[in-house]
Amino acid sequence: MSQDNKSLDADRLSGFRTDRRTFLKGSMAALGTGAVSTGAVRGQEGDGPTAGDVPTARGADGMVSSAHPQATEIGAEVLRDGGNAIDAAVAVQFALNVVQPHASGIGGGGFMVVYDADEDELYSVDNRERAPFGATPDMFLDDDGEPIPFQTRRASGDAVGVPGTLRAADVALKRFGSRELSSLIDPAVGLAAESGPEVTVDASLAEAIVGNSQVFNDAAQSVFAPGGTPLEEGATLTQPDLADTFRTIRDEGIGAFYKGPIGEAMAETVQDAGGSMRPSDVGRYNVTIDHPEYVEYDDVTVRTQSLPSSGGLTIGQILELVEPFDLCREGRQSSSTYEVLLEAFSHAYADRGAYMGDKAFVDAPWQGLFDEAYLETRRAGIAPDGSANGSPGPGNPWDYQPGEPYRVEPLGRAELGGGPEKDTGQTTHFTTADSEGNMVSWTSTIEQFFGSGLMVPDYGFMLNNELTDFDAVPGGPNEVQPWKRPLSSTSPTIVFRDGNPYMTVGSPGGKTIITTVAQVILNVVEFGMSLPEAIAAPRVYKDTDPEIIWEQGVPEAVRTELTDAGFEFAEEPAQLGNVQAILVDPESGEYLGAADARRDGSVVGI
């Protein structure tokens, strides 16, 4: 049913939509009872994770949560040694490059949100990859003007953006840190070297090797599938070339990467694979430092990465769209709540696809998107009325935005050129906090697991395929342009309550990141769940495609009822995201950290 012919039924909704909360949503509930909440998630069915599966930790002086225990421990050691949250996050990033080389690293980019306690200010170190100057809007089209299939363009040199992760580490340390980069990369040298602490292939890495070995170049194959045999879970992982690269960076600084032999080798690898990247592109890379978006929901302020990540605007829009519905009263696992969430998701994604791109290139209607009159037009397509509104088109936020756009030609869904079939799970998210109150929420990526499949020979690191996050078909706000950053969904977030940091949260998962993070925030703020409950609770994802991705634990009765209403659930459940989060006890200031059990997450309190 289209948005236009789905009207709000005032009688039906009068009890559901309200400006006043009818149930207490306790900030204290989010802390759980005792150190760890072990109860199953309310209303959850089947074999999905329970709150008791979610590793948690408490700490008065610091916290590190990442997707891998060795990386978490390295960050915790930095904190114990007197380093701050930014130092710890940088050490975690380098360690993750070694122990989860498929998910992030110096060949990629991301967004690092930093709360500086001294300044009481929130910053974002935007290290999103950029298209080289030789990139062209039609570079992902074939000779007939059709989009090249995703798996083909993903493995081409054209997919590789100029990486930002290392630059972010360097700039963040200089701006917010207290340690030298050389000391923070050193533990990762040890992890990568044959003589260092043993690193074994975990389940996530083993699965990623099997799932992506078809795109490996020879260098990647020799490390992850030597002789054509994929390393299995439990196998020892040694990466001597990566150890050498890290030693070079440790001893010579990041210039060896951005203006030296590492960058030259990287450009050569990209060109050999058909891309245009030149050493001059690499040398020109710098991060930008921004302030994240913000939206107020109930009694919290949610601050998430701004464009070129759509995370901030789209999470904000989802929260604004659902706020008048009294979801808490209906309950997290009710059909009404799922219906409102799913319809809000698809409306927000329709606007995301039509209007968002790199803000340095495209004027997005950010005021219009949040104009209350505009939001009300969008809410007209959202109702818990037992009738699916699965594929809404974008609205017209420009009608609610002062001034004229300097460029906007929204594309329809069919024109966007297609992404990966199931864009649900790459990347990594980690978060740190220290005794001064500084916090970091950093989502770091090489896009697909193992990125482009291209490892820089003799240097041992994987190159991203981030430029496939551009639309393959030119003409819209997210078309390829030289030096532009592709639209992202990553959503490193810090939530504030009473003006103070209250919770960090983020996740991998491609486009599903946005709905995962929004659901965790709602679980805590709207539904009063403890942090482990909020992370364990089953998630759903929907954009403008009819099919809903869902996790084990979404009640069967809900799926049946909503299917009868016209929604389309995927046949099988899938896994959505991998959340790392820290919550601050408003009373004691103590940190409660949690790491998602969906991967091998680990959290340590200091």
Residues that bind ligand GLU (CB under 6 A): 423, 426-427, 445, 447, 466, 469, 488-490, 508-510, 513
- The secondary element (H helix, E strand) that includes residue 49 is none
Which of residues 524 and 576 has its CB atom nearest to ligand GLU in the complex? 576
Residues 112, 128: Cα–Cα separation, whole Å: 10
Q: What are phi and psi of 288, to 5 degrees?
A: -115, 150
Q: Name, in order, each residue with C-beta under 8 angstroms of 591's C-beta and a sequence gap of 6 or more.
A: 58, 59, 60, 62, 63, 433, 582, 583, 584, 585, 605
Which of residues 113 and 513 has its CB atom nearest to ligand GLU in the complex? 513
Which of residues 275 and 510 has its CB atom nearest to ligand GLU in the complex? 510
Which of residues 287 and 383 has its CB atom nearest to ligand GLU in the complex? 287
Q: At closest approach, how far in Å is the CB of 422 from ligand GLU?
A: 10
Q: At closest approach, how far in Å is the CB of 278 from ligand GLU?
A: 23
Query: 261 burial class (0-12, 13-18, 19+ CB within 10 angstroms)?
Result: middle
Give the CB-side neighbour count of residue 535, counting CA atoms within 13 A.
35
Q: How far lies 505's CA from each of 317, 324, 431, 456, 582, in Å?
A: 17, 23, 8, 32, 7
Which of residues 306 and 490 has its CB atom nearest to ligand GLU in the complex? 490
Are 569 and 563 in contact by the 8 Å Cβ rule? The answer is: yes
Which of residues 313 and 529 has its CB atom nearest to ligand GLU in the complex? 313
Q: In what order do the strands lie in the sheet with 439-445?
A: 288-290, 121-127, 109-116, 439-445, 428-434, 62-66, 602-605
**SS3 assignment, position 212:** helix
Which of residues 37 and 578 has its CB atom nearest to ligand GLU in the complex? 578
Q: At closest approach, how far in Å is the CB of 160 from ligand GLU?
A: 13
Q: At closest approach, how far in Å is the CB of 440 from ligand GLU?
A: 18
- From 269, 424, 427, 431, active-site residue: 427
> Given CA atoms 195, 197, 201, 204 in this order, what sign does their dihedral have?
negative
Which of residues 246 and 470 has its CB atom nearest to ligand GLU in the complex? 470
Six-digit token pair at 604?
A: 């340590």
Q: At closest approach, how far in Å is the CB of 478 from ligand GLU?
A: 11
Six-digit token pair at 391?
A: 């594929």
Q: At closest approach, how far in Å is the CB of 82 from ligand GLU?
A: 33
SS (H, E, C) 355-423: HCCCCCCCCCCHHHHCCHHHHHHHHCCCCCCCCCCCCCCCCCHHHHCCCCCCCCCCCCHHHCCCCCCCC
Are 64 and 430 in contact by the 8 Å Cβ rule? The answer is: yes
Q: At closest approach, how far in Å is the CB of 417 from ligand GLU?
A: 15
Dihedral of CA atoms 556, 557, 562, 566 in degrees, nearest 10, equals 80
Q: At closest approach, how far in Å is the CB of 350 from ligand GLU?
A: 17
Could you please report the per-residue DSSP string of 261-301? Answer: HHHHHHHHHHHHTT----HHHHHH---EEE--EEEEETTEE
The answer to whether residue 427 is catalytic is yes
Residues identified as active-site:
427
